[in-house]
Structure 1
Amino acid sequence: MRSNQRIDQWSQQVYQTLDLFQENLPRGLGLNIVFDQTPYVEDRLNSLIINLLLGAGCVFAVTVLMMGWRSALIVGCALPLSGLMVFAGMQWLEIPFHQMSITGLIVALGLLIDNEIVVVDEVQNNLKMGLKPIKALKKSVNYLFIPLLASTLTTVCAFLPIALLPGPSGEFVGTIGVNVIIALTFSLLISLSIIPAITVYFPPPNSDPSSFLPLRWFNEGFSWGWLTQKYRWSLHQLFKYPILGILLALCLPIIGFMQAGTLQEQFFPTADRDQFNLELEFPASTALAQTRSQVLEARQLILEHEGVKNVQWFIGESEPRFYYNLVEGRKNEPNYAQALVETESPEISRALIPVIQKELDKVYLNARVLVRPLEQGPPVDAPVELRIYGSDLDILSDLGQKFRQELSQVSHVTHTRDSLSENLAKLGLQIDEEKSRLTQFSNANIANQLNSTLEGVTGGTIVESSEELPVRVRVNGLQRGDLDNIRSLYLTENRQSVPFTSLGNVTILPEINQITRRNGQRVNTVQGFVEMGILPSQVLSEFQKRLENANLVVPSGYTLEIGGESAERNNAVGRLLSLAGVLTIIMVTILVLSLGSFRLAAVIGVVGICSVGLGLFALWLFDYPFGFMSIIGSIGLVGVAINDSIVVLTAIKDDPEARLGNPRAVREIVIHSTRHVLTTTFTTTIGFVPLLLGGGGFWPPLAIVIAGGIFGATLLALYFVPCSYLLIKRT
């Protein structure tokens, strides 16, 4: 299927074609649909769309609670407007409507209305102060233009590494960054044009303290006098001792960084699918008929398990690429077979994988059995890999056996293999030179006749339909497969037939199946496969400790390199960081120009760094592993978390008394900014609820990092930033 096709429409055309083809098949022949991706795609897209609508509803409900129904309706206008503009941008950039693009919209959901919340709150405050609508509009837009532009540009810079990420990881998650950037750009335009114009035509209601409390909250937003009083008291106390406020605000980020080393590492989690893979690899000399017999036996064993719907085997080659990150490439290997196992649910698949692995290991002692779940992210040949580079094949093979032995003793490793251990049987000819000269047989002549006899010669062609097929003539399979029959072959020269045994002897010699190379160098790749539910990083760490204790010496000229999931993670992170340096300089430049101070820009920079610590703290608190999606979330978090801090710091700078470091004036500015800071925090956080409710191991780490970081960054904006400003003014 072409990349610009919709699978639901394309599959209908395929089924129509198959129906016509089946009608013309001879009696007794039929078609069996092995796999259809359409239901999986439709189910995933429907789930994401439901999550998107659920997130939009939650965001609107939180806005009603925090700002009242009038403000919520005005802010809510930004969601469909921005959404339509994003769809137009996707159409213009030719971004398809798939899992990642929809997820980008979910990630941007809470961010879409952050600017609108700030604008609506500011315009309404100006209207309450008695300004005319047009003046309130102009004053609000002029006042917020620079801080909103700066916060949007810094957030865009934070998501640019994701959008521009090269390689397989970039192809996988790049659309998330692109859609967030598109959404933020249109959100800024709407917040500075349409939203303030609507707000002035719907002025806020006059506050009536005597009205029914829930009704007042519904009109004006949540407000609790006792809580406001305690909040004002906390600001008053901490602003008297700003160093104390700074230290308290930094506690959680510091704990997060301290606990980062204890987090388990997982590059990409397994997929929640009712399918899994099974590989059987017998010794290299195994014939195709033997493999087929063993595979049919394995199929019956698997079907006996409750919950298994079907098992489809592909003998001698890899299965078709029915899932996006499957590794293909094995062809014409009679000792190899791969199966697609379908079950009734993802839960049954997860439960059966370790059971079938142990069962088949006991049955097929001479085979390598790999039962693996489908995984997310870029393809990886094996979870744990060690590559040995060198020139001499014997040394490479010997080193591979030693490292493989160490890897096999690591706990939770099911199977190991190395790329140079597989040997094929090869005929070795030992020619008696004196006898061959007497009979006038040259070595080349002997080799050519044996090759023609055993491998065959083209004797003609036959035409089948429109294809011309060559006909190869050779001795039958029984004679080719028996060493004694080969020895009894006759060779002919000048009308003279001579038994081959009179000229020499035939022996079977082992030969390396293939010489593997990587980047032009000979390499022996040692691979390890782990049990279901065990993190590869855990196995790799234990393997490295065993290597240190074993004191294995690598000869001069030979090098080692870690591969597998660890290498893919390091490559992906390296590509991200290669872009981060330039974008960090751009972000710093934007902050310095908008705030007019290097020291204030440094304060915002500390907020960005601390937000990463807060995200790590959330991962540790909810016991999620640290993987690629966590890294993606941390990078995006830096740009999002500093938005409220920029708005608060700009408000302090623009107030004449607060600018001079007056604690009372700074306190009033912070209290004035608290409502829209809390509202943006809650709406952004609540926008990630659908990703959390979706379960699984793929999206929750991303959502936890961003939501946890933003929630904690609120404390930084309301306490750390003003305390830092007061401390700077005092010093």
Structure 2
Amino acid sequence: LPQRWDWLQQGFANQALAQAYRWSLRTVFRRPWLGVGLSLILPVMGFAVFATLPQQFFPPTNRNQFQIEFELPTQASLAVTQAQVRQARQRALQHPEVEDIHWFMGRSAPPFFYNVLDNRRNAQNYAQGIVQLASTDRLRETIQALQTELDAAFPQAQVLVKQLEQGPPFDAPIELRVYGAEIAGLRQVGDRLRAELAQVPDVVHTRATLTEALPKLALDVDEAQARRLGLDNRSIAGQLNGALNGSIGGSILDGTRDIPVRVRVPSPQQGDLGAIAGLNIVTAQGQMPLDAIVSLDLVPDTASISRRNGQRINTVQGFITAGSLPSTVLAAFQARLQEQGFELPPGYRIEYGGEADARGTAVGNLLSTVGVLMILMTATLVLSFNSFGLAALIGSVAILAVGLAALALKLFGSIFGFTAILGTLGLIGLAINDSIVVLAALREHPQAKLGQPQAVEDVVFHATRHVIATTVTTIVGFVPLMLDPTGFWPPLAIAIAGGLGGATLLALYYIPSVYRLLTRQRHPQASLDLSGDRGFPQT
């Protein structure tokens, strides 16, 4: 090859850059404490900014589908719900990005995605729609626009336009479980929490399990009149239930099927309090209107009383704008409660569910095997180097790599979540690998093994090309994932590729500096700075 192409066989070399790099190595290794201090700057900065990282443990998907939940008050009929849903469908189809919408009336949609909950059945006031988009280019903007438009068009309904997300399923991203013994107290605390949650930015809707009351028909029986007519509460309730809900009066044979016939009052009369009051009741003295025996009134009643682990609970849920981070919204809500001086009454407690609970469970499962892995890694390092001190040195690199991953996420404006944790674990492995390469080279050289500065400099200088080559190829390999438009892979790639640059500095400066400190105590004479080049020949 021509001389100008020698770098293809011998590698790239720049004399000025090599001299500057050697000078930095020489300065650091002759003052090892300086090298240790400088090497710790980036990891310590990462640990300092870790608490400020935005957290979204389960990132959203970039699928060209999302869901709409449409819920009217509990007493709404299926016909009213269907009419409202048709109007919502027409409004949504006016958006050019929306291709089609498939609605499921009175129930949840079948699980078309792995974490979509199918938890609503036989609900006449509820419908769920699956929206199909032409592309994912304006997915988040379309969701936000539809949420605003449908909220304004249907103020009597609770409309939730929700993007599909990764991770385990949960009903709402923000969830507060209030435990207590008294229904009235649970409702009061839940209403207060719901009112405060509604004031937090990016919260579009709230609801609680004990807020909505159903109308109940209350009967006040004239006991004296009922006894004279030979009636009691049970017989009155039985006749009224038979009239409203119906009783089997016969059957019709349809082919081979025997279809029962239920007889009851017409549907319009079932919702008319006056018509119910005029129903005839059979007594010992003949038929008599119901209102001659009882007085009727509609009173509010609790729709349902939920229990969790045998305790009464009022669950307050908050739904947030598409693209907002649940951890940020929850932190803002907790800060607001603290500013308002909110305190729970005695005997009540709050437990956080939703995304926070799912995140804690997932992290616990993910880190459940870390202890075993740490023991295996420590045993491997101790057996490899025959030294607990050197094993602890490699272990410190693993800890510092966590700070480097956090710093990379902060610098790139990324979020901390499930994939970022996986990236951090991957970075720990790569950082340890680079450090082991340098440490093994130091122990193989006869003078560097004793901590002689010039020999340490030579060993690190010649190991640099291999470490840098590994770093560059790894970073380049993760660039496509860093540019992934779905948002799922960038945190993982940033944690590994971004943190690997700092991990290289740990391998080239931190490891040799600490190694010099360790050998200086055992071999003080050999660690002196001797003149001359006693290591590898300089090239």
Task: Give the structure-1-normalised TM-score.
Answer: 0.68
Q: Tell me what 1:6 maps to.
A: none
Aligned residue among 376, 379, 386 for 2:169: 379
Aligned partners of 1:416 and 1:526 also within 8 Å:
yes
Cα distance change on mapping 1:609 and 1:469 into 2, 3 Å = farther
Asked if 1:296 corresponds to 2:90, the answer is no
Q: Tell me what 1:112 maps to.
A: none
- Partner Cα distance (2:501, 2:256) in 1: 68
Cα deviation 1:314-372 (Å, max 9, x = unaligned): 11111121122112211111111111122222223321222221211122122111112
Aligned partner of 2:365: which letter?
A: R
Cα distance change on mapping 1:218 and 1:463 into 2, 3 Å = farther
- Partner Cα distance (1:404, 1:469) in 2: 48
Asked if 1:275 corresponds to 2:65, the answer is yes
Aligned partner of 1:256: which letter?
A: G
**Which deviates more from structure 2 when the two are superposed, residues 382-391 or residues 563-572?**
563-572
Q: Tell me what 1:447 maps to.
A: 237
Q: Tell me what 2:298 maps to.
A: 508
**Which deviates more from structure 2 when the two are superposed, residues 250-259 or residues 647-656?**
647-656
Cα distance change on mapping 1:225 and 1:459 into 2, 3 Å = farther
- Partner Cα distance (2:292, 2:114) in 1: 58
Q: Tell me what 1:476 maps to.
A: 266
Shift of 1:715: 1.2
| Secondary structure, counterpart of 2:167 in structure 1 | coil
| Secondary structure, counterpart of 1:602 in structure 2 | helix
- Partner Cα distance (1:290, 1:697) in 2: 40
Aligned partner of 1:551: which letter?
A: G
| Secondary structure, counterpart of 1:533 in structure 2 | coil
- Partner Cα distance (1:624, 1:463) in 2: 68
| Secondary structure, counterpart of 1:347 in structure 2 | coil
| Secondary structure, counterpart of 1:669 in structure 2 | helix
Asked if 1:357 corresponds to 2:164, the answer is no
| Secondary structure, counterpart of 1:528 in structure 2 | strand
Aligned partners of 2:229 and 2:285 also within 8 Å:
no
Aligned residue among 311, 318, 342 for 2:132: 342
Aligned partners of 1:384 and 1:563 also within 8 Å:
yes
Shift of 1:395: 0.8
Q: Tell me what 1:566 maps to.
A: 356
Cα distance change on mapping 1:645 and 1:469 into 2, 3 Å = farther
Aligned partner of 2:434: which letter?
A: D
Aligned partners of 1:274 and 1:348 also within 8 Å:
no
Q: Tell me what 1:212 maps to.
A: 3
| Secondary structure, counterpart of 1:509 in structure 2 | strand
Shift of 1:646: 1.3
Aligned partner of 1:258: which letter?
A: A
Aligned partners of 1:645 and 1:721 also within 8 Å:
yes
Q: Tell me what 1:522 maps to.
A: 312
Cα distance change on mapping 1:426 and 1:652 into 2, 3 Å = same
Q: Tell me what 2:374 maps to.
A: 584
Asked if 1:712 corresponds to 2:502, the answer is yes
- Partner Cα distance (1:428, 1:236) in 2: 91
Aligned residue among 229, 233, 236 for 2:19: 229
Q: Tell me what 2:519 maps to.
A: 729
- Partner Cα distance (2:70, 2:258) in 1: 35
Q: Tell me what 1:489 maps to.
A: 279
Alignment of 1:171-186 (within 5 A): none
Aligned partner of 1:542: which letter?
A: A
Shift of 1:683: 2.6
Aligned residue among 311, 314, 322 for 1:532: 322
Asked if 1:616 corresponds to 2:399, the answer is no
| Secondary structure, counterpart of 1:425 in structure 2 | strand
Higher strand share: 2
Asked if 1:602 corresponds to 2:389, the answer is no
| Secondary structure, counterpart of 1:684 in structure 2 | helix
Higher helix share: 1
Q: Tell me what 1:167 maps to.
A: none
- Partner Cα distance (2:306, 2:253) in 1: 38
Aligned partners of 1:264 and 1:625 also within 8 Å:
yes
| Secondary structure, counterpart of 1:526 in structure 2 | strand
| Secondary structure, counterpart of 1:325 in structure 2 | coil
- Partner Cα distance (2:183, 2:334) in 1: 24
Is there any run of 5+ residues in structure 2 with no aligned partner, and where? 522-539
Q: Tell me what 2:483 maps to.
A: 693
Aligned residue among 463, 468, 484 for 1:678: 468
Aligned partners of 1:614 and 1:709 also within 8 Å:
yes
Task: Give the structure-2-normalised TM-score.
Answer: 0.92
- Partner Cα distance (1:463, 1:599) in 2: 89
- Partner Cα distance (2:166, 2:178) in 1: 27
Q: Tell me what 2:528 maps to.
A: none
Shift of 1:712: 1.8
Shift of 1:459: 4.0
Cα deviation 1:405-462 (Å, max 9, x = unaligned): 1111112211110111121122212111111111111211111111111112234556
What RMSD, in angstroms, separates the aligned Cα atoms of the two structures?
2.0
Identity of aligned residues (%): 49
Q: How many residues are treated as equivalent by the alignment?
A: 521
Q: Tell me what 1:593 maps to.
A: 383
- Partner Cα distance (2:121, 2:254) in 1: 24
Aligned residue among 283, 286, 289 for 2:76: 286
- Partner Cα distance (1:481, 1:594) in 2: 82
Q: Tell me what 1:130 maps to.
A: none
Q: Tell me what 2:536 maps to.
A: none
Is there any run of 5+ residues in structure 1 with no aligned partner, and where? 1-209
- Partner Cα distance (1:316, 1:375) in 2: 24
| Secondary structure, counterpart of 2:147 in structure 1 | helix
Q: Tell me what 2:454 maps to.
A: 664
- Partner Cα distance (1:279, 1:265) in 2: 26
